Structure 1
Amino acid sequence: MIRSAEVEEYGVGGHAVAGLVAPSRGGSELTLQQARLAPGAATPEHRHDREELVVLASGVLEVACGEKTQRVLPGDVAILPAGTCHQLVNVAHEEAVMLLVGGAGARSFCRDGRELPTPPWLR
């Protein structure tokens, strides 16, 4: 059992992320994060070595994945293939809240190929 009161939230730029399921919390195959993205904010463009799912709970996102950009509405699921650069942009006037599902131990990279350090909420 993972109690929400025990989960620390980390601020990163215009968004905040809480690691709900990660190896340190007993997740051996998957990670689950809750993320909040401020109005007008965007994640840095990046890619992972494993597939990632974005489940939007509230707000409106534009998700750029590879050469394609799509609008994501509450209840929608964006599937981000492994190795494909992507970016999430909050295009609404309200905070976007989402769940992110990924593979435990996934590695992340900048567009230029530099590996990013594993953030504390995924350890």
Structure 2
Amino acid sequence: MHVITPDLARTTTTPNAVVTSLATPALGSTALTSWQVRMRPGAAGPLHTMDKEQIHVVTAGSLTISIGDRTETVTAGSALIVPAGAERRVQAGDEGLEALVSMPAGGQVTVPGEAPRPLPWAQ
């Protein structure tokens, strides 16, 4: 059993979000990864693709996600399942966003024009 306390969690700040690792291989998980993401109002991530399914549980604010020609807004208390291989863009709502995200360990992200790479907060 592993208990991840705030002093053991790792935080990564990007131009779009603050991401706190909760369960990763480096923190003792062997099969799953989980992290908290916080985005300021209107912040948007880059267009990207994950090679593993992800589950986003919005805990505060809202998240708008665009996949192809479909756009959905997910509000606090709702879950979003994003299939592997779906090229997507995410944006925080006017009130910002807090969410818990999980996916299988070993996932890689691809941004157009770049080579696939692991997410730092999922390692």
| TM, length-normalised to structure 2 | 0.90
Query: In the alignment, which residue of structure 2 is the partner of 1:118?
Result: 118
Query: In the alignment, which residue of structure 1 is the partner of 2:109?
Result: 108
Query: In the alignment, which residue of structure 1 is the partner of 2:56?
Result: 54
Query: In the alignment, which residue of structure 1 is the partner of 2:41?
Result: 39
- Aligned ranges 1:1-123 → 2 under 5 Å: 1-92=3-94, 94-112=95-113, 114-123=114-123
User: Is the 8 Å Cα contact of residues 65 and 80 (structure 1) preserved in structure 2?
Assistant: no
Structure 1 SS opposite 2:46: coil
Matched residue type, 2:93: V
Map Cα deviations across residues 77-106 of structure 1 (whole Å, 9 max, x no partner): 1111100111111121x2310011111001
* Cα distance in 2, alignment partners of residues 119 and 111 from structure 1: 15
* Cα distance in 1, alignment partners of residues 55 and 71 from structure 2: 15
Matched residue type, 1:117: R
For this pair of structures, how many residues does the alignment match? 121
* Cα distance in 1, alignment partners of residues 110 and 68 from structure 2: 14
Matched residue type, 1:36: R
Residues 81 and 60 (structure 1), Cα distance of their counterparts in 2 relative to 1, 3 Å cut: same
**Identity score, percent:** 28
Which ranges in structure 2 are unaligned for 5 or more consecutive residues? none
Matched residue type, 2:90: L
Deviation at 1:43, TM superposition (A): 1.1
CA-atom RMSD in angstroms: 1.4
Which ranges in structure 1 are unaligned for 5 or more consecutive residues? none
* Cα distance in 1, alignment partners of residues 116 and 29 from structure 2: 21
User: Is the 8 Å Cα contact of residues 85 and 111 (structure 1) preserved in structure 2?
Assistant: no
Map Cα deviations across residues 30-64 of structure 1 (whole Å, 9 max, x no partner): 10010001111011111111101111000011111
Structure having the higher strand fraction is 2
